[in-house]
Structure 1
Amino acid sequence: MKPSKERTKSSKSRLRLLHQYYSYTGFYSFVGKSILKALPYIILIVVGVYVLNSFFNINEALVRLTETLPIYGVLIFFFVSETFMGLIPPELFIAWASKLNRPWLYLMSLAFLSYFGGLLSYFIGKSITRIPRVHNYLQYKMQKQLKNSKKWGGLLIVAGALLPLPFSISCIAAGIIDFKFRGVVMFGSLRLLRFVIYGLVIFNVL
């Protein structure tokens, strides 16, 4: 019984140390301020999508698209979507894969396309910083934020890979803050796990 208690204590102490680290480095306040700054844009996008959807049923159009295009066309469309912003929910494509003869083959194809699309997005983020105005803005007005962001770049990628957030945007942000590509490759591989988990759920429901 003692080893299990010791493990519990050690895990708790690690979590406590992690919490203290994020508190001291200003991670929580940084995230809070970032969310507040992004909130107006998020609301604007949500309202825009809602208004657009009231005139034009986006979900029906996407479903019709997957039914109309050949398999390679859907895969290309998905890759482009996952590379540029990734705003279309991958669950729609996972549901599409569930109706095919070899669902797991196409599920893993989607997973790797999403993963590589994210890696490509990273370089899009890097290229954005080469724009003179953006470069100057980041260097002189966002220097402190960039320094903090680099500390937590791994969390940014993990959140984008596992949570229902656009993976592409996380990778673009990682490129902008000049997070190490090796870290993006490593943490981003969790994207594959997300597709497997979602596949297990969706394939058993549909």
Structure 2
Amino acid sequence: MEKKHNKIKFLAKNLARGFFWLAIMLGAYFFVQKHFGFDLKELLGPFYENTAAIYLIFLISETVFGIIPPEFFMFWAVRPGIMELYAQHVAALMLVSYCAGIVGFFIGSKFGGTRFYRYLRRTYLGKVESYFNEYGGFLIVVAAVTPIPFSGVCILIGAVNYNFKKFLWISLTRFLRFIVYAAIIWEANSLS
């Protein structure tokens, strides 16, 4: 019972952290937009309309420890008044993220015993590994829906030879983060 309570507490703490950072990002985005005339289209220049380039950047980010939070790409996907296009972009981003997690799993399973992996583990995955030792496969759920680096967890999960089918099923919770955050971003954008 204590272990289950710890898991729920761990999930709740990281969900709160995720929503806190989302609120900070939304607040900063709208503040800069309102007071400084910030235009994402202008900032991104030729990349703004180059969907393939944006998806490629997202794929690289999601495969390499989630360098850029998915929410930034959701901001890019917003086209005021065109919810269908936004939903299509978010669905594509969800699939890219899920597939990047699978790639991470295979990277971990293939290179888990190498010197390079030991370096990654020491440098980047130490904290994630301690979470895995404490929470097991539940860590996949937490990483899927919170700011804990999903790709790092996927690499670790692959390296410890976690059951692949179980990983695939549990990783579907990644979609929840995208759906909830995308809805919040869309609504916030509609209010601005």
User: 1:106 and 1:21 mapped to 2: Cα distance?
Assistant: 36
Q: Determine the C-alpha separation between the residues in 1 that align with 2:181 and 2:115.
A: 41
> For the structure 1 residues 107 and 134, does the alpha-carbon distance in structure 2 shift closer, same or farther, using more than 3 Å as the test?
closer
> Following the alignment from structure 1 to structure 2, what is the Cα–Cα distance between the partners of residues 159 and 90?
15
Which TM-score applies when normalising by structure 2?
0.64
TM-score by length of 1: 0.60
1:160 aligns with 2:143: yes
The aligned residue for residue 46 of structure 2 is: 68
- The structure-2 alpha-carbon separation of the partners of 1:164 and 1:111, relative to structure 1 and needing over 3 Å to count, comes to same
Cα distance 1:180–1:71, how it changes in 2: closer, same or farther (>3 A)?
same
Q: Runs of 4+ in structure 1 displaced over 2 angstroms? A: 20-23, 132-135, 148-153
The 1:126–1:64 alpha-carbon spacing in structure 2 relative to 1, beyond 3 Å, is farther
Instruction: Report the counterpart of residue 53 of structure 1 in structure 2.
Output: none
Q: Mind listing any 5+ residue stretches in structure 1 that lack a counterpart?
A: 1-16, 32-59, 139-145
Offset of residue 179 of structure 1: 1.2
Q: For 1:179 and 1:22, how far apart are their aligned partners in 2?
A: 23
Cα distance, 1:133–1:201 mapped onto 2, change above 3 Å: closer
Instruction: Tell me if the contact between 2:113 and 2:159 (Cα under 8 Å) persists in the aligned partners.
Output: no
* Contact 2:78/2:186, CA 8 A, preserved across alignment: yes
In our comparison, the structure showing a higher alpha carbon Rg is 1
Aligned-residue offset at 1:205: 0.7
Distance (Å, rounded) in 2 between the aligned partners of 1:116 and 1:20: 31
Aligned residues: 145
| Pairing 1:94–2:77 present | no
Structure 2 alignment gaps of length 5 or more: 11-38, 122-128
For each residue in 1:30-74, what CA deviation from the matched residue of structure 2 results, as whole angstroms up to 9, or x when unmatched?
Answer: x9xxxxxxxxxxxxxxxxxxxxxxxxxxxx99x834x43201110
- Tell me the equivalent position of 1:113: 96
